[in-house]
Amino acid sequence: MVRKNVAILFGGRSVEHGVSINSAKNIFEYINRERFEPTPIGISTQGAWFLNKSVSKDIEQGEPLTLELNATKPVWKTSSGKVIQVDVAFPVLHGTDGEDGSVQGIFQAMGVPMVGTGVLGSSVSMNKLTSKRLLQQSNIPVAPFLTYSYADKSSLSFETISKELGLPFMVKATSLGSSVGISKVKSKEDFLPAVEDAFRYDNQVMMEKYIKGREIECAILGNDPPEASLPGEIVISDRYEFYTFDAKYVDNTAVSIEVPAKLTPPQQDEIRKLSVEAYQALHCEDFARVDVFLSGDGKVYINEINTIPGFTNSSMYPMMWKERGVSFTDLITKLIDLCLKRDEKLKRIQTDFKSSLKF
């Protein structure tokens, strides 16, 4: 069997640059080398692409890459003249430029099969406002929210927002992940610093009702039909107000993880059902992690969908499938196979149209 060349993309122009590197290390280490030849391609914080020998933070030590714009046979070329042909792209890029449809558009335009959700699903899932509106239209429960643009910043009123949402409430940049640009507002003194932080990373922010309850996550895999894992739970230390960036990635004592979560069978069924419905409503493909709130009175709210969930050693997505008997290596193989199967189906679609138009 001829091995397929899999380009593993990591790094990127994102506040989640470091998380991406840690995720990609595991993809590179555990990929089945009997079937796939991994090609690590690092993207610097400035957006330059480099061919690397392995996955590390020293991205710019690799060879600079250029892309030949040819959708029938796209190739990457190094500064030394080496030519690389990619059979499959596996973006392990979290956040801006990697999870928002940008890099997905490059591979779609070049005709390269790409693991994961495409342009449409990536862009709508990344934007918290757009995704929540689509979920609402699909009758999928989300927490009450308000949204404001940067032009509204000087006129924002703590009194008006707290009256509408109650206290505490969350302030979020709409298009970031890993809890960057997110704050919990418990009093008027918290409000302006939270607004400043959110607008530091985005031109649009969301104010959202705080749901007191449990942080539940559900892993989705597949397309026709997608399959939901048993939900897992993130149990956060009392030292943290919510699931912050440091709690996720820095402080090893901040959380404990329960896979599967201690839920009743009806709760499990509802969370799995709503997670699949959310995945489909937002046009996700191949895989995603759905983040859910389970309130104290037993109500389920979809918080957000991560179309490129983490693959670090502490990441929930691979843990939830491991509990179902799917190893890290088998999970990576399944994802690549799903991508290739989906790409075969796309080939039936015509991209030209014969008409009588003269030009």
Structural domains in the chain, sorted by start:
4-114 (3.40.50.20), 144-209 (3.30.1490.20), 213-341 (3.30.470.20)
Computed over every residue of the chain, the mean pLDDT equals 90
Distance between CA atoms of 36 and 7, rounded to whole angstroms?
A: 10
The per-residue pLDDT for 10 is 96
The per-residue pLDDT for 25 is 96
The per-residue pLDDT for 250 is 61
Cα 304-310-313 angle, rounded to 5 deg: 140
Of all residues in the chain, the percent with pLDDT exceeding 70 is: 91
What b/e sequence results for 303-337 when a residue is b if at least 16 CB atoms lie within 10 Å of its CB, and e otherwise? bbbbbbbbbbeebbbbbbbeeeebebeebbbbbbe
The per-residue pLDDT for 178 is 54
Cα distances from 100 to residues 61, 170, 222, 248, in angstroms, run 27, 22, 20, 21
Q: Which two tokens stand for residue 327?
A: 């190893």
Q: Indicate the SS3 state at residue 280.
A: helix
Assess whether pLDDT exceeds 80 at residue 82.
yes
- Cβ–Cβ < 8 Å for 179, 244: yes
Nearest CA to 286 out of 42, 137, 104 is that of: 104
What b/e sequence results for 199-235 when a residue is b if at least 16 CB atoms lie within 10 Å of its CB, and e otherwise? bebbebbbbbbbbebbbbbbbbbbbeebebbbbbbbe
Distance between CA atoms of 235 and 249, rounded to whole angstroms?
A: 14
In eight-state DSSP terms, residue 154 is G
For 100, phi then psi, to 5°, come to -105, 10
Assess whether pLDDT exceeds 90 at residue 51.
yes
Of all residues in the chain, the percent with pLDDT exceeding 90 is: 69
Q: Indicate the SS3 state at residue 251.
A: coil
Distance between CA atoms of 295 and 172, rounded to whole angstroms?
A: 20
Assess whether pLDDT exceeds 60 at residue 256.
yes
Assess whether pLDDT exceeds 70 at residue 333.
yes
Nearest CA to 224 out of 301, 280, 262 is that of: 280
Q: Indicate the SS3 state at residue 150.
A: helix
Nearest CA to 227 out of 136, 325, 134 is that of: 325
Assess whether pLDDT exceeds 80 at residue 244.
no
The per-residue pLDDT for 247 is 60
- Cβ–Cβ < 8 Å for 117, 286: yes
Assess whether pLDDT exceeds 90 at residue 282.
yes
Give the H or E element holding residue 318.
helix 316-323
Assess whether pLDDT exceeds 70 at residue 66.
yes
**Mean pLDDT across the stretch 103-129?**
93
The per-residue pLDDT for 177 is 58
